[in-house]
Amino acid sequence: MLELMDFETKHKPRPHVNAFVRLHHGITEEQRVQAAEKAGWNVFQFPSEMLCGGDLLSDSGTTSMTTEQLSALILGDEAYGSNWGYFKLLEAIERNFGLNIDEWEVYIFHQARAAEHALFSHITGENLTIPANSFFDTTRANAEANNIEALDLVSDKIKSDKTHPFKGNIDIDALKEVIVNKGGNIPLVYLTITNNTGGGQPVSMQNIKEVRRICDENSIPFFLDACRFAENAWFIKQREEAYSEKSIADIVREEFSYAEGFTISFKKDGLANMGGALLIRKDSKITNRYPDIFDKLRDHQILVEGHPTYGGLSGRDIMTIAVGLDTVVQERYLNGRIGQVHEFGSYMAELGIPVIEPFGGHAVYIDSDEFFKDTNIKRKDFGGISLTALLLIKGIRLCELGAFAFGVYNPDTGEEKFPPYNFIRAAVPRNKYEIQDLYYVADCIKALYDRRDMIPKAVPVWGREKALRHFKARFELC
């Protein structure tokens, strides 16, 4: 009988079924135009309730929780000190990351940026540089706000390579050179797994191992930004031969075995809606330079977040993270999750939409320069903003991460300084959408791609000169 059934299918079942659904309301396109005008065509200001197409603004904190997480949430213990979930969370971290928790200092925060702020504000000194593959934008902002140079070291060769399996890798030669040039001014080296740039490009285990070795040789602490540790492990299993037979759980444990410390946002691979943490090995080399860092971090945590056993989170949030960590390392879950992102990206590519390949783990990026290449829209016209603004009318929300988000305006000269990339990101929330929803998003983008000649320019009418302007600015489409 089993022989008869031995065939492959084009489509696979999802790794879950819907236990609850959230109904869309009957919102008209006219209502969305009105709301978008009121929001100054800024996607961040647009009411999410009106997005009946697909809200792909971010994969962070937007996960639909499992029934296991929701039932754990009810069990959340809102005690001020040492709530039950705290111990469950420590156990889940031990179990899934392979740590002996007694050997680590654990600081819970309400999200990762608070953990990054705590870390970087206690790394003091002159002319400090932290090399990384790439810093996430708030991570960079936190380092720079503390006078630390945040140095991205992914080679241009890898960036432009459409077939490289590990586009998130740090450039090892460049890292060695920086270590020689900066002498003792490197308080730590940081690897972001997966590398958010390009939609979650993976870092190979070989790269992680090599960085740890170089750090040890030079007595530099090695830290991870581990937000998408499980998605990264999935890519290692798929693409790094030595790991093809290993379980995701083992690969995850190996990833963490090289880290002396890490920051993490549980809003990604914690499958939770809120939460972050900073963990540092008690014997980390970071204590050579900063002997009292643990006391200082603990005081900081109590000052800004609360008691160390809840750290800015409710007991309910903590329970959902503890359960989420057990789910996220399951291969069945990751096959469905990353498979969906890739199916979405491949469909866009099939439609001829210029997307960045290979696809990463959590998002598909559209190349805005390519999209508008043969039109009158130039970078200064912020076509990516126009595209995301128009998609709101169809109930879809994407995020421009390019000329406007990362450009800088000089009000004295009226000039814009543009970043190297000009992308529009479609980030896929975990466990939330069915592929049919994502096909709809792609079809709408394709329709606008076919009419790209008619897409208006986006003119900033407020906030062009502000820092982090994409969150706040207002536009007119003309």
Which residues contribute to the site for ligand PLP (CB under 6 A)?
A: 60, 111-113, 136, 138-139, 192, 196, 225, 227, 265, 267, 276
Closest to 169 (Cα-Cα) out of 151, 188, 195: 195
User: Of the two residues 193 and 220, which places its CB atom closer to ligand PLP in the complex?
Assistant: 193
Nearest approach, Cβ of residue 96 and ligand PLP (Å): 18
Contact present, 69 and 320 (Cβ < 8 Å): yes
Q: How far is the CB of 373 from ligand PLP (least distance, A)?
A: 29
CA of 232: how far to CAs of 48, 194, 201, 346, 356, in Å? 29, 5, 8, 20, 18
Q: Based on CB atoms, which residue is closest to ligand PLP, 69 or 196?
A: 196
Residue among 426 and 444 whose Cβ is closer to ligand PLP: 426
**From the CB of 366, what's the least distance to ligand PLP, in Å?**
19
In the complex, what is the shortest distance from the CB of residue 115 to ligand PLP, in angstroms, rounded to a whole number?
8
Q: Is the peptide bond before 66 cis (omega within 30 degrees of 0)?
A: no
CB nearer ligand PLP, residue 112 or residue 390: 112
Q: Between 53 and 168, whose beta carbon lies closer to ligand PLP?
A: 168
Q: Write down the least CB distance from residue 402 to ligand PLP, Å.
A: 17
Residue pair 298/107 in contact (Cβ under 8 Å)? The answer is: yes
Nearer to ligand PLP by Cβ, of 66 and 139: the residue is 139
The smaller minimum CB distance to ligand PLP, of residues 457 and 472, is found at 472
State in angstroms the smallest separation of the CB of 255 from ligand PLP.
14
Q: How far apart are CB 301 and ligand PLP at their closest, in Å?
A: 15
Cα distance between residue 276 and residue 278, in whole Å: 7
Q: Which residues of 379-411 are buried (b: 16+ CB within 10 A; e: fewer)?
A: bebbbbbbbbbbbbbbbbbbbbbbbbbbbebee
Task: Could you list the beta-strand ranges (E) of 56-157.
Answer: 104-109, 128-132, 148-152
What secondary structure does DSSP assign to 147-162, as a single string? TEEEEE---HHHHH-S
How many residues are listed for the chain in this entry?
Answer: 478
Is the distance from CB of 308 to CB of 302 less than 8 angstroms? yes
